[in-house]
Chain A
């Protein structure tokens, strides 16, 4: 560790030096400009040439030391161009080379004005909130992005916003910390190296976390690849670590994962027991562990409760009047919808044979009363975790995490039933990425997969939680918009289409963009799942025939 924490006066002294240096930058850049102009007039002046080389070399080195990386990089680029000329015959200065130096010099002058005008390298981009596609949309997650490379900052802000996050960008650690006092972001994306030090980003987060009850959820991005930095990042509670250049799709995956954890639904447990005392006890224990519970004292009411409460797990007494837990579990296992819902028996039965018998009838575990609270919680937790995982595997598409074909169709039927019952409209959209084969052929399958994921992410982020997105197969997706009529659905899908076409995808073969075609059919115009699906498919075909990258209504 550096002496950073014990010696705040050093930081202050360094900041003062930095400020002093910042003021000198414009004059240094002006000197470089003058040498360059002189050199252009007197081609043979080797002295001027060496002077210019030296001036750029010095500026590159000092700017880097003081953390003015942008200026340092441009100065370095000029130095390298000059260096090349030093080793070659200087009479061969090509027009292109002169142009290159000119361009770099202009960049240098712009950066130098920015630096002196903005008090050091301070710059804060105002938080820009993403216009919601639909009223009543859940608030999007807030990301604080901190990096002193302003070009990178702007580019990343744009890209992350595309996926429906609200991004506040900071080029400066101080501004970031001030903003923290007003708002806690869902995730911080933090550069490692700043003017304050090669690991200033990590050190800063570390210190902030030590003053907080809950550490900031932080992802570090860095140009450094060494293990020690990585280790420091982990010690500062870093949840992710991405070497630059950061692949935006990967970063979004990590953000999705982190922000999703925040909203993971509490485990839902149904407790079936004829004894009110026993069931209340179990309910209390599980509630204290953060779970939602529903107590059923009349076993015959269970099936009704199941369909409403949709539990992750059923905790069931074996000996009950009217019907036994064993019989009830057989009934449950005969219903497709609950085939994967774990059942845990709770009983004073100590006979191992009977316990095993209970398991063979569809139970997943057996707990003997009286059960220790911690034991109950741990058994329920591990069963629910596994149960949710299995359900997810069975119902979703592995690559995108969207509902799979079968589940999407099921959802269409159930949403349609609800729409009919509530007398509200419903729109069903089918979409297909244009020329997707071309993407796979030219940019490789990994790049193609990332395109599919980015489309899935964009929808997940931008639609309301109760809308459904599914992957029908290949590059074909479906969207079910509840309470949404045809025209509104078209507006929404058009916005999504445009936004998707603006995402820049990266691959080893270079960057590229994609777009999609879409067909929409709505209830009550069409009133069965099959017809909606057929009509949307026809409209999609029309969109393709009509030149692609468009939305067509059935």
Chain B
């Protein structure tokens, strides 16, 4: 199984970026590229070459779902796994995100000590 190393993370709120960086880099040991908006994520993806996308849903400029759709149009990224992070986790809402092509949804607020494990578990599930 391929090991998860590189995650592209989009979140506009700097306070949450900091916690997520602690959770994924320090605790999880992943290489993390943090983007402040969906637009930035689309711009960065080809230089960073991530294995997984971790996107906040609601962001100014370009929201998570739109950014994902743009990225999926790029060669080599038609099937990159994406995970949305959102407070909206009603079953029908989750289904909507899955329909957009996300492999999973992580509810917000997330537990900083458990986030890395959550991401790792999702990764292992989609690899198997």
Q: With contacts A7-B26, A10-B22 known, is A2 near B113, CB below 8 A?
A: yes
Check B109 against A64 for contact (C-beta < 8 Å): yes
Q: With contacts A7-B27, A54-B60, A76-B87 known, is A66 near B113, CB below 8 A?
A: no
Q: Which of B15, B16, B117 has the most CB of A within 10 A?
A: B15
Q: Is B30 in the interface zone, CB < 8 Å from A?
A: no
Contact with A along B84-128 (1 / 0, CB 8 A): 000100000000000000000000111111101100000000000
Contact residue among A14, A17, A65 (Cβ-Cβ distance under 8 Å from B109): A65
Q: Is A549 in the interface zone, CB < 8 Å from B?
A: no
Q: Is A197 in the interface zone, CB < 8 Å from B?
A: yes
Cα distance, A13 to B23, chains bound together (Å): 10
Instruction: Tell me which of A55-63, A346-354, A366-374, A386-394 binds B.
Output: A55-63
Closest to B108 in A: A61
A residues in contact with B16, CB < 8 Å? 61-62, 65
Q: Distance in Å from the Cβ of B114 to the closest Cβ of chain A?
A: 5
Q: Is A437 in the interface zone, CB < 8 Å from B?
A: no
B residues in contact with A2, CB < 8 Å? 27, 111, 113-114, 117
Interface residues of A (CB under 8 A from B): 2-4, 7, 9-10, 13-14, 17, 21, 24, 54, 57-58, 60-66, 72, 76, 196-200
- The majority secondary structure among interface residues of chain A is helix
Q: With contacts A2-B117, A62-B13, A65-B108 known, is A10 near B87, CB below 8 A?
A: no
Q: Distance in Å from the Cβ of B4 to the closest Cβ of chain A?
A: 16
In the complex, which residues 8-48 of chain B have their Cβ closer than 8 Å to any Cβ of chain A? 13, 15-16, 18-19, 22, 26-27
30 contacts between A and B (CB under 8 A): A2-B113, A3-B113, A3-B116, A4-B113, A10-B22, A10-B26, A13-B22, A13-B26, A14-B19, A14-B113, A17-B18, A17-B19, A17-B22, A21-B15, A24-B15, A60-B87, A61-B13, A61-B87, A61-B108, A61-B109, A62-B16, A62-B109, A64-B109, A65-B108, A65-B110, A66-B19, A197-B114, A198-B111, A199-B114, A200-B113
- The majority secondary structure among interface residues of chain B is loop
Chain B contact-residue range equals 20 to 34
Interface residues of B (CB under 8 A from A): 13, 15-16, 18-19, 22, 26-27, 58, 60, 87, 108-114, 116-117
Check B116 against A65 for contact (C-beta < 8 Å): no
Q: Distance in Å from the Cβ of B94 to the closest Cβ of chain A?
A: 16
Contact residue among B87, B111, B116 (Cβ-Cβ distance under 8 Å from A197): B111
Check B26 against A57 for contact (C-beta < 8 Å): no
Check A10 against B27 for contact (C-beta < 8 Å): yes
Q: With contacts A57-B58, A60-B87 known, is A10 near B113, CB below 8 A?
A: yes
Closest to B60 in A: A54
Cα distance, A65 to B86, chains bound together (Å): 12
Check B19 against A64 for contact (C-beta < 8 Å): no
Cα distance, A2 to B22, chains bound together (Å): 13
Cα distance, A81 to B27, chains bound together (Å): 37
Q: Distance in Å from the Cβ of A111 to the closest Cβ of chain B?
A: 16
Cα distance, A6 to B18, chains bound together (Å): 21
B residues in contact with A13, CB < 8 Å? 22, 26
Closest to A60 in B: B87
A residues in contact with B19, CB < 8 Å? 14, 17, 65-66
